[in-house]
Structure 1
Amino acid sequence: MEDIEWLLHQPDGGRALKVNERTRISDAQWDAVIERIDVAPGLRVFLTHATIHSDITVQSRDPGSGPESTPWASSTIAVEGHVEIEIPDGLQVTAGPDQAVLFRPSGRDPRYHVKAPQRLRLAGYALRRDRLERMFDGAIPPALLPLLEPEMETSRVICMHATRRLRHLAEGLFAPGLNGPLRLLFVEGVVLQLLASQMASQIRPARILTAREREAVTTAHRLLLLDMRRPPGLGDLADAVGLSEKRLNACFRSEFGSTVFELLRNYRLEHARIALESGAAPLKQIAWRVGYNHVSNFINAYTARYGAPPRRHVLKKQVAAAMPASRAG
């Protein structure tokens, strides 16, 4: 198990701190216990219990993170105290007893700024995209999808009200009274409840579409898919049907379960899959026809949707289709 390095930023420079299963720190800045729990592949939990004597900044330096790694969604819930989270791309949010945060940074890892004096108890977890897909059987909640795009140019953040139930769940992680496999099972169960509660807080009651909105969505759907190689921009599409961009996306979610360009991406990849299985054209040409200028971007999007790169996915389907015929023969 690799240790995770945390960089402590101090007035006179910085120093590295290796965080393994349980790390104790006691110095002029803080007295703290940081616990790292590798619950299962694709699921990691951090618990921080600290007394802060002077302002401190901590930056995680996880060897498993970075722009080239598999996407992870992270959450920070403050049971006690406040922490400012500085996320790349100029984003800064506060996690405290009244607000929890879900995020995925782009590029470098986030920094955590903690003001003194205060007592701090933070519960954090990180879930890898492939584990999330298995948990949701591929149907990841729409609110979570922006955090898990395979190609993400800017950081994404979701802030939600930290309800009493959410804080109570997070607090239970600090003293479960269990060890070994039983504790791992307990921690995993709590993380699942935390994620479910956080996602439930993002669900808004669906608004019934008016007749005019339904007509606008039907027209927008047709215009969007007329030419998948050169689709209209969201603003142009919204202007063409007389809706705002925000309302058009909301109407698409109501009618099709996805935003305008989530729907376009899904159609592109489905058409590409059919073309690949037919063998009618080489991969590069198919990618270009459905709107991907770079084959690598197409392969990443295809893999994220179908769980395997294009050629491997098609080969698996062909082998599966041939198996009954082979047995019959």
Structure 2
Amino acid sequence: MNDSDAINKYHLSVERADGQTDNLVVSEGHQQPEDVASTRLERVNLRNGGNVDYQEFALEQEMILKARGASKILQVCVMLPLEGAYSMITPEGEECHFTPNQGFMFRYIGEEVTFTLPGHQTVRSLGFCVSLDVFKRYLDNQIPDTIKPMLQPKEIGSLPVPFQIDNFMRETLDRNLQVEAQGSLKQIRWEGTALLCMALVEEKLHKAANPETFSLTQACKQKAEAALELLMADMQDPPCLADLAQELSITEKKLNLIFKSLYGDTVFEYLRSIRLNKAKNLIEQTNMAMKEIAWTVGYNHSTNFSKAFTRQFNITPANFAKKARKLTKVS
């Protein structure tokens, strides 16, 4: 097997907290190792020379994954969680923490990388790797300063670069992955997913390097407080961002910038955090059913509530309720 063929494969060893192990070679197509975890591994080889990977793990206990490439070709990799959280230790020993709000771009030349996936969660992750030449073509040779070090010689290591993941980015990629396609259309879908992911990541890195600024006046703070009052007045059916901005005589963009500056999140990211923290308190302090709690904090579908809660707290609401309510009974 030559190195250009080897780039399409990687070796994966799996170890659960109870000591059970498995080993496999992941190549193009679906891989579903049995007994170790409820797992889905999917890899598609890109026609321009690269790979897109989708991984899904339903975890009852902690799992350690050790991945090792079959190729020594230097690649640039992008990896982001769509659900759940995990950590990665690079070959140089640097630890990267992946969360639903943070992904990483890094360099990879086949050495062993270790991932730790905490138990009692579902982890769904999207990633792709391409050679340096393909990476430059993706960006039309217009490489942002923040990621120019990626093009340096092999000796300087993995160079992990974090980037922010917001709801729009995560949900856009997730919807793209849900599109059913076969044959050449499936290949086109994956090619498009890789390009879309790269474009969204580049945008995040560009914004991080060139943050928008504005003067946070007292009037801005009053606008934010008024917006919060309107949102909290009807948490189950809050006004949309456009209506909120119109009511306050402000642009949607500026309102989000004010919230980012004051609270660290956009308007509806902050509202989601308030909803989920209220749900957490209701689980801890009441015996309400999950459907009722979901409806109370503004989720019409318990599945959407469960996914949002898990992304926020890295535990499902059902598992959190088991622990919280058991402690309440004991105390």
- The question of a shared fold, defined as TM-score above 0.5 by the shorter chain, is answered with yes
Displacement after TM superposition at 1:39 (Å): 2.0
**What corresponds to 1:48 in structure 2?**
55
What is the Cα deviation at residue 190 of structure 1?
2.1
Counterpart selection for 1:6 from 4, 12, 25: 12
Q: Can you list the C-alpha shifts for 1:292-326, whole angstroms capped at 9, x where unaligned?
A: xxxxxxxxxxxxxxxxxxxxxxxxxxxxxxxxxxx
Equivalent in the alignment of 1:170:
173
For the pair shown, the structure with the greater C-alpha radius of gyration is 1
Asked whether 1:19 is paired with 2:22, we answer: no
Aligned length: 202
Residue number in structure 2 paired with 1:146: 149
SS in structure 2 at match of 1:84: strand
Q: What is the DSSP-based 3-state SS (H/G/I as helix, E as strand, rest coil) of the residue aligned with 1:146? A: helix
The reply on whether 1:110 has 2:113 as its aligned counterpart is yes
Assess, with a 3 A threshold, how the Cα gap between structure 1 residues 148 and 205 changes in structure 2: closer, same or farther: same
- Work out whether residues 75 and 108 of structure 2, in 8 Å CA contact, stay in contact via their aligned partners in 1: no
| Structure 1 match to 2:210 | 205
Partners of 2:131 and 2:175 in 1: CA distance: 23
- The separation in 1 between residues aligned to 2:211 and 2:25, in whole angstroms, is 47
In structure 2, relative to structure 1, the CA distance for the partners of 1:54 and 1:76 (3 Å cut) is same
Distance in 2 between the 1:150 and 1:172 partners? 36
- C-alpha distance in structure 1 between counterparts of 2:69 and 2:166, whole Å: 30
Taking the aligned partners of 1:31 and 1:190, their CA distance within structure 2 comes to 24
Q: Deviations over 1:75-97 (max 9, x none)?
A: 11111111111112221112121
- Residue identity in the other structure for 2:15: H
1:189 maps to which residue?
Answer: 192
From the superposition, tell whether residues 206 and 166 of structure 1 become closer, same or farther in structure 2 (CA, over 3 Å).
closer
Please report how far the alpha carbon of residue 161 of structure 1 lies from its aligned counterpart in structure 2 after TM superposition: 1.2
Question: What is the Cα deviation at residue 12 of structure 1?
Answer: 4.5
In structure 2, distance between residues paired with 1:168 and 1:154: 31
Task: Give the superposition deviation at 1:23.
Answer: 0.6
Counterparts of 1:114-125 in structure 2, within 5 Å, are 114-125=117-128
- Does the 8 Å contact 2:69/2:110 carry over to 1? no
State the Cα distance separating 1:146 from its structure 2 match.
Answer: 1.3
Counterpart in the other structure of 2:258 = none
1:170-203 Cα deviation digits (max 9, x unpaired): 3134321111111221221222121122112222
Shift of 1:106: 6.2
Q: Deviation string for 1:235-271 (max 9, x for gaps)?
A: xxxxxxxxxxxxxxxxxxxxxxxxxxxxxxxxxxxxx
Deviations 1:39-86, CA, capped at 9 Å, x for gaps: 22322111112211221111222212x3xx2x2111111111111111
Does 1:134 pair with 2:120?
A: no
Mind listing any 5+ residue stretches in structure 2 that lack a counterpart?
213-331
Establish whether residue 60 from structure 1 lines up as the match of residue 63 from structure 2.
no
**Structure 2 CA distance for aligned equivalents of residues 206 and 48 of structure 1:** 32
- C-alpha distance in structure 1 between counterparts of 2:211 and 2:168, whole Å: 25
**Structure-2 separation of matches of 1:137 and 1:124:** 21
Q: Which residue of 1 aligns with 2:307?
A: none
> How far apart, in 2, do the equivalents of 1:181 and 1:106 lie?
29
Correspondence list, 1:307-322, <5 A: none
* Matched ranges for 1:72-83 at <5 A: 72-83=75-86
* SS of alignment partner, residue 182 of structure 1: helix
Contact persistence 1:123–1:173 (CA under 8 A): no
Structure-1-length-normalised TM-score: 0.56
Matches of residues 86-101 of structure 1 in structure 2 within 5 Å?
86-101=89-104
Q: 2:165 matched to 1:157?
A: no
In the other structure, the counterpart of 1:318 is none
Aligned to 1:305: none
| Contact 1:36-1:46 within 8 A present in 2 as well | yes
Which residue number corresponds to residue 238 of structure 1?
A: none
CA 1:95–1:168: 2 relative to 1, 3 Å:
same
**1:116 CA displacement:** 0.6
Going from structure 1 to structure 2, the CA distance change for 1:86 and 1:123 (only over 3 Å counts) comes to same
Q: Is the 8 A contact 1:31 1:50 kept in 2?
A: yes
Distance, in Å, in 1 between the alignment partners of 2:89 and 2:176 is: 25
**TM-fit CA distance, 1:159:** 0.7
Matched AA of 2:32: R
Aligned equivalents of 2:21 and 2:60: distance in 1? 17
**Cα distance in 1 between the residues matched to 2:153 and 2:109:** 11
- Determine if contact 1:89/1:154 at 8 Å carries over to the other structure: yes
Alignment RMSD? 2.3
Query: How far apart are the structure 1 equivalents of 2:110 and 2:186?
Result: 33
The Cα of 1:126 is off from its aligned counterpart by 0.8
State the 1:109 CA deviation. Answer: 2.8
Q: Which residue of 2 aligns with 1:306?
A: none
- Please list every run of 5 or more consecutive structure 1 residues that lacks an aligned counterpart in the other structure: 208-329
